[in-house]
Amino acid sequence: MADIPAPVAGAPAARPARPRGKAYKAFVDGVGANNPVFVQVLGICSTLAVTNVLTNTVVMCLGLIWATAMSNVSVSVLRRWIPPRARMIVETLIIAVWVIIVDIVLRAYLPDISRTLGPYVGLIITNCIVMGRTEAFGLSNPPGLAFIDGVSAGLGYTYVLLIIAVIRELLGSGSLAGVKILGGWWTNWSIFVMPSGAFFLLASFIWVVKGVILKEQKK
Amino acid sequence: MSKRIMIVVFTVLVTVVFVSPISLVYLITKPTVELNEQVFLKRSVLYAAGLSVPRVPTQIAELFDTRVEEKSGSGGPYYLVKSQDGQPAGYVFLRSGPGLWGEITAAVGFDAGLEKLTGVDFLRQNETPGLGARIGESWFREQFRGKRGPFTTVGEGEPAAENQFDAVTGATLTSNFVKDLLNAAVGQVGDLVK
Protein backbone atom coordinates (compact mmCIF):
# COMPACT_ATOMS: atom_id res chain seq x y z
CA MET A 1 0.00 0.00 0.00
CA ALA A 2 2.94 2.27 0.56
CA ASP A 3 3.53 2.90 -3.13
CA ILE A 4 0.11 4.45 -3.81
CA PRO A 5 0.66 8.00 -5.10
CA ALA A 6 -0.17 10.80 -2.68
CA PRO A 7 -3.26 12.26 -4.50
CA VAL A 8 -5.16 8.98 -4.11
CA ALA A 9 -4.73 9.01 -0.36
CA GLY A 10 -6.62 12.30 -0.09
CA ALA A 11 -9.49 11.20 -2.35
CA PRO A 12 -12.95 10.38 -0.93
CA ALA A 13 -13.08 6.79 0.25
CA ALA A 14 -16.27 6.07 -1.75
CA ARG A 15 -14.44 6.40 -5.04
CA PRO A 16 -12.97 3.03 -6.06
CA ALA A 17 -9.25 3.26 -6.61
CA ARG A 18 -8.89 0.90 -9.54
CA PRO A 19 -10.86 2.64 -12.36
CA ARG A 20 -9.31 5.94 -11.33
CA GLY A 21 -5.85 4.48 -11.69
CA LYS A 22 -6.81 3.17 -15.12
CA ALA A 23 -8.15 6.52 -16.26
CA TYR A 24 -5.04 8.23 -14.98
CA LYS A 25 -2.83 5.74 -16.76
CA ALA A 26 -4.84 6.03 -19.99
CA PHE A 27 -4.40 9.78 -19.88
CA VAL A 28 -0.72 9.95 -18.98
CA ASP A 29 0.15 7.25 -21.51
CA GLY A 30 -1.02 9.23 -24.53
CA VAL A 31 0.65 12.44 -23.46
CA GLY A 32 3.94 10.92 -22.30
CA ALA A 33 5.38 7.41 -22.38
CA ASN A 34 3.14 6.20 -25.20
CA ASN A 35 2.91 9.47 -27.15
CA PRO A 36 1.50 8.81 -30.64
CA VAL A 37 3.96 11.08 -32.43
CA PHE A 38 7.38 10.66 -30.83
CA VAL A 39 7.01 7.16 -29.34
CA GLN A 40 4.69 5.32 -31.73
CA VAL A 41 5.75 7.58 -34.63
CA LEU A 42 2.20 7.72 -36.02
CA GLY A 43 0.48 10.59 -37.81
CA ILE A 44 3.75 11.78 -39.30
CA CYS A 45 2.19 12.66 -42.65
CA SER A 46 -0.10 15.26 -41.12
CA THR A 47 2.68 16.46 -38.83
CA LEU A 48 4.58 17.44 -41.96
CA ALA A 49 1.56 18.84 -43.79
CA VAL A 50 -0.16 21.14 -41.32
CA THR A 51 2.61 22.58 -39.17
CA ASN A 52 3.85 25.40 -41.39
CA VAL A 53 1.18 27.86 -40.25
CA LEU A 54 0.09 27.86 -36.60
CA THR A 55 -3.61 28.58 -37.27
CA ASN A 56 -3.96 25.48 -39.42
CA THR A 57 -2.22 23.40 -36.77
CA VAL A 58 -4.58 24.51 -34.01
CA VAL A 59 -7.77 23.79 -35.98
CA MET A 60 -6.34 20.49 -37.22
CA CYS A 61 -5.43 19.40 -33.69
CA LEU A 62 -8.86 20.30 -32.30
CA GLY A 63 -10.37 18.26 -35.12
CA LEU A 64 -8.11 15.34 -34.31
CA ILE A 65 -8.86 15.40 -30.56
CA TRP A 66 -12.59 15.39 -31.37
CA ALA A 67 -12.28 12.64 -33.96
CA THR A 68 -10.09 10.38 -31.82
CA ALA A 69 -12.21 10.77 -28.70
CA MET A 70 -15.58 10.30 -30.42
CA SER A 71 -14.42 7.42 -32.63
CA ASN A 72 -12.87 5.69 -29.63
CA VAL A 73 -16.12 6.03 -27.68
CA SER A 74 -18.26 4.83 -30.60
CA VAL A 75 -16.09 1.78 -31.21
CA SER A 76 -16.04 1.08 -27.49
CA VAL A 77 -19.86 1.23 -27.26
CA LEU A 78 -20.19 -1.17 -30.19
CA ARG A 79 -17.26 -3.40 -29.19
CA ARG A 80 -19.40 -6.36 -28.11
CA TRP A 81 -21.25 -6.45 -31.44
CA ILE A 82 -18.54 -5.64 -33.97
CA PRO A 83 -17.61 -8.89 -35.76
CA PRO A 84 -13.80 -9.27 -35.52
CA ARG A 85 -13.44 -9.79 -39.25
CA ALA A 86 -15.33 -6.62 -40.14
CA ARG A 87 -13.86 -4.42 -37.42
CA MET A 88 -11.57 -2.39 -39.70
CA ILE A 89 -14.44 -1.46 -42.03
CA VAL A 90 -16.59 -0.43 -39.09
CA GLU A 91 -13.78 1.59 -37.51
CA THR A 92 -13.03 3.43 -40.73
CA LEU A 93 -16.71 4.19 -41.19
CA ILE A 94 -17.07 5.54 -37.66
CA ILE A 95 -13.92 7.68 -37.97
CA ALA A 96 -15.06 9.06 -41.31
CA VAL A 97 -18.43 10.05 -39.86
CA TRP A 98 -16.94 12.09 -37.00
CA VAL A 99 -14.39 13.76 -39.28
CA ILE A 100 -16.90 14.67 -41.99
CA ILE A 101 -19.09 16.29 -39.35
CA VAL A 102 -16.13 18.51 -38.42
CA ASP A 103 -15.61 19.33 -42.10
CA ILE A 104 -19.25 20.24 -42.70
CA VAL A 105 -19.49 22.37 -39.56
CA LEU A 106 -16.30 24.26 -40.46
CA ARG A 107 -17.58 24.85 -43.99
CA ALA A 108 -20.85 26.25 -42.71
CA TYR A 109 -19.77 28.30 -39.70
CA LEU A 110 -16.04 29.02 -40.16
CA PRO A 111 -15.81 29.28 -43.97
CA ASP A 112 -12.53 31.23 -43.98
CA ILE A 113 -10.68 28.67 -41.87
CA SER A 114 -12.27 25.86 -43.88
CA ARG A 115 -10.84 27.46 -47.03
CA THR A 116 -7.30 27.73 -45.75
CA LEU A 117 -7.33 24.16 -44.43
CA GLY A 118 -8.62 22.82 -47.73
CA PRO A 119 -8.41 19.03 -47.87
CA TYR A 120 -6.48 18.62 -44.61
CA VAL A 121 -9.56 18.19 -42.39
CA GLY A 122 -10.84 15.29 -44.49
CA LEU A 123 -7.38 13.75 -44.22
CA ILE A 124 -7.85 13.28 -40.45
CA ILE A 125 -9.71 10.11 -41.50
CA THR A 126 -6.45 8.63 -42.74
CA ASN A 127 -4.50 9.72 -39.66
CA CYS A 128 -3.10 6.50 -38.24
CA ILE A 129 -3.46 7.76 -34.67
CA VAL A 130 -7.26 7.61 -34.81
CA MET A 131 -7.37 4.11 -36.26
CA GLY A 132 -4.56 3.06 -33.93
CA ARG A 133 -6.43 4.13 -30.80
CA THR A 134 -9.72 2.50 -31.82
CA GLU A 135 -7.86 -0.74 -32.60
CA ALA A 136 -5.60 -0.78 -29.58
CA PHE A 137 -7.90 0.74 -26.97
CA GLY A 138 -11.51 1.33 -28.03
CA LEU A 139 -12.12 -2.30 -28.98
CA SER A 140 -11.19 -3.61 -25.55
CA ASN A 141 -12.12 -0.90 -23.04
CA PRO A 142 -15.32 0.74 -21.71
CA PRO A 143 -16.51 4.04 -23.29
CA GLY A 144 -15.44 6.33 -20.43
CA LEU A 145 -11.85 5.13 -20.52
CA ALA A 146 -11.92 5.15 -24.33
CA PHE A 147 -12.90 8.81 -24.27
CA ILE A 148 -10.04 9.71 -21.92
CA ASP A 149 -7.63 7.69 -24.03
CA GLY A 150 -8.80 9.44 -27.22
CA VAL A 151 -8.49 12.91 -25.74
CA SER A 152 -5.07 12.07 -24.34
CA ALA A 153 -3.76 10.69 -27.63
CA GLY A 154 -5.12 13.82 -29.32
CA LEU A 155 -3.43 16.08 -26.76
CA GLY A 156 -0.18 14.13 -27.10
CA TYR A 157 -0.32 14.79 -30.83
CA THR A 158 -1.36 18.41 -30.32
CA TYR A 159 1.48 19.64 -28.16
CA VAL A 160 4.14 18.03 -30.34
CA LEU A 161 2.60 19.64 -33.42
CA LEU A 162 2.28 23.01 -31.72
CA ILE A 163 5.96 23.02 -30.78
CA ILE A 164 6.93 22.12 -34.35
CA ALA A 165 4.49 24.62 -35.85
CA VAL A 166 5.77 27.48 -33.69
CA ILE A 167 9.37 26.82 -34.70
CA ARG A 168 8.49 26.32 -38.37
CA GLU A 169 6.33 29.38 -38.78
CA LEU A 170 8.67 31.60 -36.76
CA LEU A 171 11.79 30.62 -38.70
CA GLY A 172 10.10 29.97 -42.02
CA SER A 173 7.82 32.99 -42.29
CA GLY A 174 8.91 35.22 -39.38
CA SER A 175 5.35 35.20 -38.05
CA LEU A 176 3.02 33.36 -35.67
CA ALA A 177 -0.59 32.60 -36.70
CA GLY A 178 -0.08 35.03 -39.58
CA VAL A 179 1.04 37.94 -37.36
CA LYS A 180 4.54 39.23 -38.16
CA ILE A 181 6.80 38.70 -35.16
CA LEU A 182 10.30 39.03 -36.54
CA GLY A 183 11.04 42.31 -38.27
CA GLY A 184 12.40 43.12 -41.69
CA TRP A 185 15.94 42.11 -40.67
CA TRP A 186 14.88 38.46 -40.56
CA THR A 187 15.53 36.38 -43.67
CA ASN A 188 12.91 33.64 -43.92
CA TRP A 189 14.27 30.11 -43.91
CA SER A 190 12.12 28.77 -46.72
CA ILE A 191 13.20 25.19 -45.98
CA PHE A 192 11.11 25.28 -42.80
CA VAL A 193 7.99 26.04 -44.80
CA MET A 194 8.60 23.03 -47.04
CA PRO A 195 7.83 19.49 -45.82
CA SER A 196 11.55 18.72 -45.75
CA GLY A 197 12.05 21.32 -43.01
CA ALA A 198 9.42 19.55 -40.94
CA PHE A 199 11.27 16.27 -41.45
CA PHE A 200 14.48 17.70 -39.99
CA LEU A 201 12.64 19.30 -37.12
CA LEU A 202 10.54 16.25 -36.25
CA ALA A 203 13.57 13.97 -36.43
CA SER A 204 15.54 16.27 -34.12
CA PHE A 205 12.57 16.43 -31.76
CA ILE A 206 12.22 12.62 -31.58
CA TRP A 207 15.98 12.33 -31.16
CA VAL A 208 16.07 14.71 -28.21
CA VAL A 209 12.97 13.27 -26.51
CA LYS A 210 13.95 9.62 -26.95
CA GLY A 211 17.64 10.11 -26.34
CA VAL A 212 17.47 12.35 -23.32
CA ILE A 213 14.08 12.40 -21.59
CA LEU A 214 12.75 8.87 -22.14
CA LYS A 215 16.17 7.30 -21.53
CA GLU A 216 16.37 8.89 -18.10
CA GLN A 217 12.93 7.56 -17.25
CA LYS A 218 14.02 4.01 -18.07
CA LYS A 219 16.99 4.23 -15.73
CA MET B 1 -22.41 -19.30 -43.48
CA SER B 2 -24.75 -17.52 -41.06
CA LYS B 3 -21.69 -15.81 -39.55
CA ARG B 4 -20.84 -14.28 -42.91
CA ILE B 5 -24.38 -13.04 -43.38
CA MET B 6 -24.26 -11.55 -39.89
CA ILE B 7 -21.15 -9.59 -40.86
CA VAL B 8 -22.88 -8.17 -43.93
CA VAL B 9 -26.05 -7.35 -42.01
CA PHE B 10 -24.07 -5.69 -39.23
CA THR B 11 -21.97 -3.62 -41.63
CA VAL B 12 -25.03 -2.43 -43.53
CA LEU B 13 -26.80 -1.58 -40.30
CA VAL B 14 -23.85 0.35 -38.87
CA THR B 15 -23.47 2.24 -42.14
CA VAL B 16 -27.11 3.32 -42.13
CA VAL B 17 -27.00 4.31 -38.47
CA PHE B 18 -23.85 6.41 -38.83
CA VAL B 19 -24.43 7.93 -42.25
CA SER B 20 -27.95 9.19 -41.57
CA PRO B 21 -26.83 11.85 -39.03
CA ILE B 22 -24.21 13.06 -41.52
CA SER B 23 -26.84 13.45 -44.22
CA LEU B 24 -28.98 15.33 -41.73
CA VAL B 25 -26.15 17.70 -40.75
CA TYR B 26 -25.33 18.17 -44.43
CA LEU B 27 -28.93 19.06 -45.33
CA ILE B 28 -29.27 21.41 -42.36
CA THR B 29 -26.08 23.31 -43.20
CA LYS B 30 -26.49 23.24 -46.99
CA PRO B 31 -28.16 26.68 -47.30
CA THR B 32 -25.48 28.22 -45.05
CA VAL B 33 -22.69 26.65 -47.09
CA GLU B 34 -24.20 27.90 -50.35
CA LEU B 35 -24.64 31.36 -48.86
CA ASN B 36 -20.97 31.32 -47.83
CA GLU B 37 -19.96 30.49 -51.42
CA GLN B 38 -22.03 33.42 -52.69
CA VAL B 39 -20.45 35.74 -50.13
CA PHE B 40 -16.96 34.60 -51.17
CA LEU B 41 -17.75 35.37 -54.81
CA LYS B 42 -19.31 38.77 -54.10
CA ARG B 43 -16.48 39.72 -51.77
CA SER B 44 -13.89 38.89 -54.43
CA VAL B 45 -15.74 40.81 -57.16
CA LEU B 46 -16.07 43.90 -54.96
CA TYR B 47 -12.42 43.68 -53.94
CA ALA B 48 -11.27 43.33 -57.55
CA ALA B 49 -13.47 46.29 -58.52
CA GLY B 50 -11.52 48.42 -56.06
CA LEU B 51 -14.48 49.04 -53.76
CA SER B 52 -13.96 48.86 -50.00
CA VAL B 53 -15.43 45.54 -48.90
CA PRO B 54 -17.62 45.51 -45.76
CA ARG B 55 -17.04 42.78 -43.19
CA VAL B 56 -20.65 41.75 -42.58
CA PRO B 57 -22.06 39.29 -45.17
CA THR B 58 -25.42 41.10 -45.45
CA GLN B 59 -23.65 44.39 -46.18
CA ILE B 60 -21.50 42.67 -48.80
CA ALA B 61 -24.63 41.42 -50.55
CA GLU B 62 -26.23 44.88 -50.30
CA LEU B 63 -23.22 46.69 -51.81
CA PHE B 64 -22.97 44.05 -54.51
CA ASP B 65 -26.62 44.45 -55.48
CA THR B 66 -26.43 48.23 -55.76
CA ARG B 67 -23.07 48.54 -57.54
CA VAL B 68 -22.59 45.37 -59.59
CA GLU B 69 -24.56 43.88 -62.46
CA GLU B 70 -23.99 40.40 -63.82
CA LYS B 71 -23.71 40.33 -67.64
CA SER B 72 -23.04 37.56 -70.09
CA GLY B 73 -20.29 38.02 -72.66
CA SER B 74 -18.74 35.79 -75.28
CA GLY B 75 -16.36 34.35 -72.68
CA GLY B 76 -19.05 33.59 -70.08
CA PRO B 77 -20.52 35.80 -67.39
CA TYR B 78 -18.76 38.93 -66.21
CA TYR B 79 -19.56 41.72 -63.77
CA LEU B 80 -20.24 45.33 -64.71
CA VAL B 81 -19.32 47.69 -61.89
CA LYS B 82 -21.26 50.96 -61.65
CA SER B 83 -20.27 54.19 -59.98
CA GLN B 84 -22.52 55.68 -57.31
CA ASP B 85 -24.59 57.55 -59.94
CA GLY B 86 -25.05 54.41 -62.03
CA GLN B 87 -22.43 55.06 -64.73
CA PRO B 88 -20.22 52.12 -65.84
CA ALA B 89 -17.02 52.34 -63.78
CA GLY B 90 -15.31 49.05 -64.49
CA TYR B 91 -15.50 45.34 -65.20
CA VAL B 92 -14.63 42.22 -63.22
CA PHE B 93 -13.89 38.89 -64.89
CA LEU B 94 -13.47 35.45 -63.30
CA ARG B 95 -10.45 33.83 -64.88
CA SER B 96 -8.98 30.38 -64.23
CA GLY B 97 -5.55 29.05 -65.06
CA PRO B 98 -3.21 26.28 -63.97
CA GLY B 99 -1.44 26.51 -60.61
CA LEU B 100 1.27 24.42 -59.00
CA TRP B 101 -1.07 21.86 -57.36
CA GLY B 102 -4.44 22.80 -58.78
CA GLU B 103 -6.37 25.38 -60.72
CA ILE B 104 -6.15 29.03 -59.67
CA THR B 105 -9.33 31.08 -60.09
CA ALA B 106 -9.02 34.84 -59.84
CA ALA B 107 -11.36 37.81 -60.00
CA VAL B 108 -9.63 40.36 -62.24
CA GLY B 109 -10.97 43.92 -62.24
CA PHE B 110 -10.46 46.46 -65.05
CA ASP B 111 -11.30 50.17 -65.21
CA ALA B 112 -14.02 51.50 -67.57
CA GLY B 113 -11.51 51.86 -70.44
CA LEU B 114 -10.36 48.21 -69.99
CA GLU B 115 -6.76 49.43 -69.71
CA LYS B 116 -5.69 49.45 -66.10
CA LEU B 117 -6.38 46.88 -63.40
CA THR B 118 -8.57 47.95 -60.50
CA GLY B 119 -7.67 44.90 -58.44
CA VAL B 120 -7.06 41.16 -58.32
CA ASP B 121 -8.40 38.61 -55.83
CA PHE B 122 -7.97 34.85 -55.72
CA LEU B 123 -11.18 32.87 -55.33
CA ARG B 124 -9.68 29.40 -55.41
CA GLN B 125 -6.09 28.26 -55.14
CA ASN B 126 -4.28 25.23 -53.71
CA GLU B 127 -0.73 26.57 -53.73
CA THR B 128 1.86 25.48 -51.14
CA PRO B 129 0.94 26.93 -47.73
CA GLY B 130 3.57 29.43 -46.61
CA LEU B 131 5.04 29.78 -50.11
CA GLY B 132 2.76 29.96 -53.16
CA ALA B 133 -0.32 30.38 -51.02
CA ARG B 134 1.07 33.78 -50.02
CA ILE B 135 -0.50 35.14 -53.21
CA GLY B 136 -3.58 35.34 -50.97
CA GLU B 137 -1.81 37.83 -48.67
CA SER B 138 -2.90 41.43 -48.75
CA TRP B 139 0.39 42.97 -49.99
CA PHE B 140 0.40 40.71 -53.03
CA ARG B 141 -3.21 41.35 -54.05
CA GLU B 142 -3.06 45.10 -53.33
CA GLN B 143 -0.11 45.72 -55.66
CA PHE B 144 -2.17 45.25 -58.85
CA ARG B 145 -4.35 48.32 -58.43
CA GLY B 146 -3.68 50.85 -61.20
CA LYS B 147 -1.23 48.54 -63.00
CA ARG B 148 -1.27 48.03 -66.76
CA GLY B 149 -0.51 44.64 -68.38
CA PRO B 150 1.00 42.60 -69.96
CA PHE B 151 3.14 41.97 -66.90
CA THR B 152 6.62 40.84 -66.00
CA THR B 153 7.74 40.07 -62.44
CA VAL B 154 10.41 41.51 -60.16
CA GLY B 155 11.74 40.07 -56.89
CA GLU B 156 9.71 40.36 -53.71
CA GLY B 157 10.12 43.77 -52.09
CA GLU B 158 11.73 45.37 -55.12
CA PRO B 159 10.18 48.47 -56.71
CA ALA B 160 7.92 47.52 -59.63
CA ALA B 161 7.06 49.60 -62.69
CA GLU B 162 3.52 50.04 -64.03
CA ASN B 163 3.74 46.78 -65.99
CA GLN B 164 5.50 44.77 -63.26
CA PHE B 165 4.52 43.10 -60.02
CA ASP B 166 6.45 41.66 -57.07
CA ALA B 167 6.74 37.88 -57.24
CA VAL B 168 6.58 35.74 -54.08
CA THR B 169 10.01 34.62 -52.88
CA GLY B 170 10.33 30.84 -52.98
CA ALA B 171 7.29 30.52 -55.23
CA THR B 172 8.58 31.35 -58.68
CA LEU B 173 6.30 28.83 -60.36
CA THR B 174 3.17 30.12 -58.65
CA SER B 175 4.17 33.71 -59.47
CA ASN B 176 4.59 32.75 -63.12
CA PHE B 177 1.21 31.02 -63.18
CA VAL B 178 -0.38 34.18 -61.81
CA LYS B 179 1.48 36.23 -64.42
CA ASP B 180 0.24 33.96 -67.22
CA LEU B 181 -3.32 34.10 -65.91
CA LEU B 182 -3.28 37.91 -65.75
CA ASN B 183 -1.60 38.33 -69.13
CA ALA B 184 -4.20 36.05 -70.72
CA ALA B 185 -6.93 38.16 -69.14
CA VAL B 186 -5.29 41.38 -70.34
CA GLY B 187 -4.92 39.98 -73.85
CA GLN B 188 -8.51 38.79 -74.14
CA VAL B 189 -10.29 41.53 -72.22
CA GLY B 190 -11.52 43.32 -75.35
CA ASP B 191 -13.30 40.18 -76.56
CA LEU B 192 -14.70 39.23 -73.17
CA VAL B 193 -17.15 42.14 -73.00
CA LYS B 194 -18.49 41.65 -76.52
- pLDDT of A18-38, one tens digit each? 556 777 777 777 777 778 777
- Give the minimum alpha-carbon distance from B180 to chain A in angstroms, rounded to a whole number: 24
Query: In B, which residues are within 8 Å of A85 by CB distance?
Result: 7
Query: In A, which residues are within 8 Å of B6 by CB distance?
Result: 83
Contacts of A53 (CB under 8 A, 6+ apart): A116, A165, A169, A173, A177, A178, B129, B130
Average pLDDT of the segment spanning A64-89? 90
Is 0.90 exceeded by the ipTM?
A: no
Between B183 and A210, the higher pLDDT residue: B183
Q: What is residue B48's predicted lDDT score, i.e. its pLDDT? A: 92
Residues of chain B with pLDDT under 70: 1
In 3D space, the residue among A47, A62, A174, A200 whose CA is nearest the CA of residue B130 turns out to be: A174
Residues in chain A: 219
Q: What is residue B132's predicted lDDT score, i.e. its pLDDT? A: 86
Rounded percentage of chain A residues whose pLDDT exceeds 70: 88
The region of weakest confidence among A67-71, A73-77, A94-98, B49-53 is B49-53
Contact B33 A53 (CB under 8 A): no
B11, B22, B36: residue with CB nearest A97: B22
Q: Is residue A146 pLDDT above 80, yes or no?
A: yes
Q: Domain boundaries in chain A?
A: 38-218
Q: Is residue A3 pLDDT above 70, yes or no?
A: no
Between A89 and A45, the higher pLDDT residue: A89
Q: pLDDT band for position A159 (50/70/90)? A: confident
The region of weakest confidence among A99-103, A115-119, A127-131, A178-182 is A115-119
Contact B29 A105 (CB under 8 A): yes
Q: Is residue A123 pLDDT above 60, yes or no?
A: yes
- Residue A156 sits at φ, ψ, to 5 deg, of -60, -40
Q: What is residue A147's predicted lDDT score, i.e. its pLDDT? A: 92
Beta strands in A74-217 (DSSP E): 175-176, 179-180
Q: What is residue A25's predicted lDDT score, i.e. its pLDDT? A: 78
Q: pLDDT band for position A44 (50/70/90)? A: confident
Q: What is residue A111's predicted lDDT score, i.e. its pLDDT? A: 86
Contact A86 B32 (CB under 8 A): no
Contact B29 A90 (CB under 8 A): no
- Spell out a b/e string for B66-98, using b for 16 or more CB atoms within 10 Å of the CB, else e: ebbeeeeeebeebbbbbeeeeeebbbbbbbebe
Q: Is residue A4 pLDDT above 60, yes or no?
A: no
